Structure 1
């Protein structure tokens, strides 16, 4: 039998408490190389870098994309997992296509992943030839 009240939801955090800002708990004993970057962090970084490269304000891009400035800020900081519609609107406001945005994020993921793991993937054979498919798949 559970000690929980029947109408209370149980909250399972997506990140360990040490990863949250403002918390001072001891970091988990997990090696840093094991943590792969999150997609939302990569996409947010690409959006922010492009906006700053264009010397545009957060307000300007948010207004152009017709999304709220606080929400765009959260997306840029990797705090929100934005829908494809929001990502497309933000990309178009910056003069990019959704494909451009996701392609840049994919390139960043490949670059960071190869840096984090200097070894080959355990499920891949060392003699595997590269595929002619160079695509990106997102599932919702």
Structure 2
């Protein structure tokens, strides 16, 4: 094998390794499972997730709790845009034409929510803030 061929092969292998490492950093979530405060049962995307632009925000609260605020990148989302399934306590919001945010831009985004219990006991206010990435 000639010296030039060897150098070319090594350069290709190094560039390929660099591309694999870059892809792993960009496209795979960081850290372990998210620690969510009680009574929050789930959010999507999870903190640190990397998701596509068609993704919406989903919040899972126990039945009897109400979402008070959804703030995305510092902008308060009109709660009339958030769909709610009363039987399961699921709240869902998607950006779209004519909505508070019309489309996601690539990069990191911050979501912030506040909730409170509206039925079945004493008030139980709380909140959660997390960041995710859109590709």
TM bin (shorter chain): under 0.3
Task: State the TM-score, normalized to the length of structure 2.
Answer: 0.25
Structure number with greater Rg is 2
**Structure 1 or 2: more strand by fraction:** 2
